[in-house]
Structure formats: C-alpha cells, structure tokens
Amino acid sequence: MTDTTLGRAGDVARTYPSSDLYRAVWRWHFYAGLFVLPFLIILAVTGALYLFRDEIDAIVYADLKRLQIQEDLGRVEPSAMVAAALSAYPGTAAKYTDPAGPGFSAEITVETDAGERRAVYVNPYTGKVLGSLPDRGTIMWTVRRIHSLAYFGPIANGLLEIAGGWSILLVGTGIYLWWPRRQTGGLVSVRGTPKRRVFWRDVHAVTGIFVGAFIVFLAITGMPWSIVWGAKVNQWANGHNFGYPAGVRVDVPMSQVPLKQVGETSWSLEQAKMPMSANSGPDTASIGLDRAVAIFDGLGLHRGYAVGVPATSTGVYTASVYPDDLGQQRVVHLDQYSGKPLIDMGFADYGPFGKWLEWGINVHLGQEFGLANQLVLLTVCVAIVALSVSATVMWWKGRPKGALGIPPLPNDGRAFRGLLAILAVGGVIFPLVGASFIVMLTLDRVFVSYRRLRAAP
C-alpha cells in the first residue's frame, strides 16, 4: 500500500510506501542531506580541481616551474642553487627539492630573515633564480586546504569529519529508498521533464545508485585527514608514534621531531619521529648538501625528492618522495656526519594496514591509476553536484507551501530501533559523527514535541 500526496497543478508530488520503516529511513535521509549537501558541493568542486593539480600548476606557474632543457650545460651543484636562492632571499635554507624531470626547476624552501617561509625556484642548468612564492602558496595548495576545510580552522575541519560519516548514512538510506517496490520507472531511467518533480526524483535516484559506492569510498579514504578520527588512527597506525613497522626500525637515537615538520610525507608517517645524527664533537664536519644529494641519487630515489636540511647538530638529511606510483614512495634519513643511511623505508616496508590506507589515499587523490583515475573521479564529482542540485529542486517542488517539508514520522516509534542501532555503531567508530547523531536526534525530538504542543487544543 502506498500514500500519495498531490503537489502543484495536480501532479503527483510523492509516492511512498506507508510502512513505518520507510518513513523512518526517509526522515533520516532528509536530515543527512540537509546537513551534508553544502559540504558535498564544496568537496566535489574543489576535489575535481585538485585531481588536476599538477596540470593546473604547470600552466599557472609555468615561468617558475618549467624551463627549457639545456642538458649540454650540465647541472650546477645543489649547494650553488641554495646559495643563489639565499642571495635573492636572505635567510636559512630549510629544504631542497630535486627537479622532477629535465624540464623542471629546483625548489629551495627558505626561512627568510623577515620570518617568512618562501619557495624559491632555481634553474638547475644555470643556477639563476626564476622567482618565488610563499611556501605552499600555490592555487592548488589553497584548493587543497579549502577541500579539507583546514583553510577555515579546526572547527570546520571537524565538521568535515562529521560530514563524511553522514555521507555514508546518506548513501545507505538512499539505497533503501531506491530499492524497487513495484514501480515501473526511476530505477535506471529518468521519467518526465524538468518541469515535473518526478524528473528530479529520478535524476537524483539514478545518479545516486551509480555513484553511491564511490561516495562511500571517498568518505572513508578522506577520513585520515580528519582532526579527531584521523589523528587518533594515525597515532595507532604508527605504533607508539614511530611509524616504522617491525624489522625496519633500527637502533638509533630518536628525536621528538615528527617527520611532517621536515617536509611532505605520507599520511601514515606524519607522526614518525626523526632519528638523530651521532655528533662526536665540535670539530666533526657535516658531509654537506652536495654529498647528501649524491648519496640519495646513488640510492635510486625517484626524481623530485625533497631533502630536509638539518638545522641542529643532531639533525639528519631526510629525503622523501611520494610519486603517483606507490611502489616508489620512500623516506631515507642520513647521518649528517658519516652519510650513513639511518633509516631507509619504502611502501613495501609498510604493514598491511598502512598499505591499505596509503592505497586508498592515493586513489582518493587521483594518482593510482593515472588519467583513468582522474577521469573517473571527475565524473563522480560532477555526479555529486548533480545529486545535490536534483535533491534541492526535488525538495523545493514537493514541499508544502510555507513549510520545511520534513518527511513524516512513522506511526510506530519502534521503526527507528534498527536505524538507531546502525547509527550507534557508526558513532562508536567515528566519535564526532556519533556526537552529531545525538544532537540531531535531540533536535528532532524537540521539533516533534514543539509541533505537538502547537497542535494541541
């Protein structure tokens, strides 16, 4: 049996089974959409742009990042490039980034005397400074920070974690609502015209059923960047904050400096502690950047690796590289005096959990399967925007005039039990999401009580 409500101009605005379970699911699907849709639009638009970050940056900053190949000139020493960068921008060199290929510039990260951190680009063939940008000041870095909502502070980043959990709920309840119940259309086809609500309902349902699994995948693989769940899982995955699986960690002194403070690193190693060089006395000389780079080259690191320059007498030269190919990920720490590799670890050394996390993140970023990965996720991002727009239009066309249009309560409150049990499990796994469920449930109860009081004679 179904209930039918007439919309404007006599069209059928909505047709739904009158079962209490359906009403309960529909109500929470509505709430999930009400909270999540603004976030989904932001994530979809910024995510679509960030999929092509390298291509966009190469165009926008072509004068800094790209150059004519001049192999006949050879390459100047890294220390000479650092000297040129410091001459143009006086300060202290914090990091040297190897050119990613023959047509790319080198990047020197400088802590300037003015207290600013800048990325200085240098021609590796001539040693000429091409220009500079604020460190991580490119358009794509800004897009990335907006995508994670880190741009707006920790509270906004926490809301993103909540939105990820609600997105999973949105997909689960959406599948239940889509499930065939004797209807003849709207499963994999779209009925009607844009003037009718049924058209937007079908666009929403059909699009959702095709991309729902992708949305869940992106929500789960995006969680590692979240402020609460991501940070705690990162600590757990790192094993007492060292980040190195059994058999790879060696018996060397460890500092309290996390690897993420030195340079770009994989998510699972952000909390990994840096080793320390064995300084044998004031007269002990460092091997220098040129020798360190030569050692890294000899170890076969993928081009484009970044080298953290030691800032203290116990610091190390740290090279890290995270190319699209997971198998080429690598972190190497060198004793700054002996040049001995203290730790040399790649993707093959990660544990099963770390490998799964890094693989998911790599796919999430559009890197794992090349252009196909980028195009598939671009399609998903466009579909997410279509889902959000169709949901908004469908709600607007179907809502009662002057009302919010919240789906009706089930006649029997016990219909919520199974749904609430699922929410409770999700809340235990993702604490912020669980807290938001409690808040939404409380608000729903308050709203229902208020409506009943107003309706009472």
Q: What pLDDT score was predicted for residue 105?
A: 96
Please choose, from the candidates 370, 356, 268, the residue with its C-alpha nearest in 3D space to the C-alpha of residue 324. 370
Q: Per-residue pLDDT tens for 33-67?
A: 988 999 999 999 999 999 999 999 999 999 999 99
For residue 223, pLDDT over 60 is answered with yes
For residue 83, pLDDT over 50 is answered with yes
Q: CA-CA distances (angstroms) from residue 211 to 186, 362, 377, 442?
A: 16, 19, 10, 31
Burial of 371 (0-12, 13-18, 19+ CB in 10 A): exposed
Architecture of the domain defined by 62-137: Roll (3.10)
Q: How confident is the model at residue 9 (pLDDT cuts 50, 70, 90)?
A: very low
Q: Per-residue pLDDT tens for 372-388?
A: 999 999 999 999 999 99
Q: Which residue has the tokens 């091409």?
A: 130
Q: Comparing 45-49, 208-212, 355-359, which segment has the lowest mean pLDDT?
A: 355-359
DSSP, collapsed to helix, strand or coil, labels residue 110 as: strand
φ, ψ at 188 (rounded to 5°): -130, 10
> What does the block give as tokens for 347?
């993707």
- Whole-structure pTM value: 0.85
Q: What pLDDT score was predicted for residue 264?
A: 66
For residue 115, pLDDT over 60 is answered with yes
Most confident of 91-100, 305-314, 337-346: 91-100
- Read off the amino acid at residue 210: F
For residue 10, pLDDT over 70 is answered with no
Q: What pLDDT score was predicted for residue 79?
A: 97
For residue 18, pLDDT over 60 is answered with no
Q: Which residues pair with 15 in a beta bridge?
A: 4
> What does the block give as tokens for 220?
């789960």
Q: Comparing 72-76, 98-102, 241-245, 386-390, which segment has the lowest mean pLDDT?
A: 241-245
**Four-point Cα dihedral 163, 169, 172, 177, nearest 10:** -100
Q: Comparing 3-7, 360-364, 410-414, which segment has the lowest mean pLDDT?
A: 3-7
DSSP string, 256-290: EEEGGGTS---GGGTTPEEE------TTPPP-HHH
| Distance of alpha carbon 147 from alpha carbon 262, whole angstroms | 23
For the chain, what are the domain ranges? 2-35+150-221+380-455, 62-137, 246-349
